[in-house]
Amino acid sequence: MALPKIDLPIMELTLPSSGEVVKYRPFTVKEEKIMLMAQESGDPVQEVLAAKQITNNCLIDIEVSNLPMFDLEFILLTLRSASVDNKISFQIKDPDTDEVVPLEIDISELEVERYDGHTNQVKVNDDYSLFLKYPTIDEFATLAAMDDNDSMIDYVMLCSCIDKLASDDEVFEFKDYSQEEVDEFMESLTSDVIKQITLFFQTMPRLKNSIKYTNSNGDEKTFVIEGMQTFFS
């Protein structure tokens, strides 16, 4: 006689980017093993791939590949909270004293930080505007596989997040063009346009929290933690 399958509760969460309500189940021992293996590897690529696999396993009727990264981070922490515990304990090294400081974060208190004036539209000239999209888990996996010192990292991220160029009469989808054609277009942009695109990345929503502590010198410090950094602590 086969062992019975255990029914898992189905819950709902709201995606920060769109307000869409999606269904999920808690993660099981299978997902915990995936998470632990990624933690132990210390490899950013493995952490990104593990995040994708865990969320794909636990979400119901939704594919995570096209979700903005801050949505995926929010989902991961919601899964962690529902499946294990709200509290995560970890240690940091104080930069001034080199002491190891134990900290604890309540992941239910993490919020998506938003910036006033943030926009995905960048005006190129009087006729055309660029429309940008948020980086996804697949794009982060590509970047994680690159050398940290590679000067092309910023450019690769920038290109991957340009969605389309539009005027009142025309729309050009960047996915329809070769990398060579995209490179040629990018080389024609002014530094002011590049600054506006950079501002899009700097001000896009992100999962973030600050933890205050006092070091052995009596100095009050703030440690800022973001996104998957919390999940894989």
Place of tokens 């973001």: 226
> DSSP string of 5-32?
PPP---EEEE-TTT--EEEE----HHHH
Domain ranges, ordered by start, for the chain: 11-113+206-231, 121-203
The answer to whether the CB of 83 falls within 8 A of the CB of 26 is: yes
Q: Which helix or strand (DSSP H or E) is residue 130 part of?
A: strand 129-132
* Tokens matching residue 71: 């949505």
- The three-state DSSP-derived secondary structure of 54-119 is HHHHHEECCCHHHCEHHHHHHHHHHHHHHHCCCEEEEEEECCCCCCEEEEEEEHHHCEEECCCCCC
Q: What is the pLDDT of residue 232?
A: 55
Q: What is the pLDDT of residue 229?
A: 56
The answer to whether the CB of 163 falls within 8 A of the CB of 132 is: yes
For the chain, 233 residues long, give each residue's pLDDT as a single digit of tens. Answer: 777 677 788 999 999 888 899 999 988 888 889 988 888 887 878 888 888 899 999 999 888 888 898 898 888 888 888 887 788 888 888 989 999 999 888 877 777 888 888 999 999 999 999 999 998 888 877 877 777 777 788 888 888 889 999 999 999 999 999 999 999 999 999 999 999 999 998 898 888 888 899 999 999 999 988 766 555 55
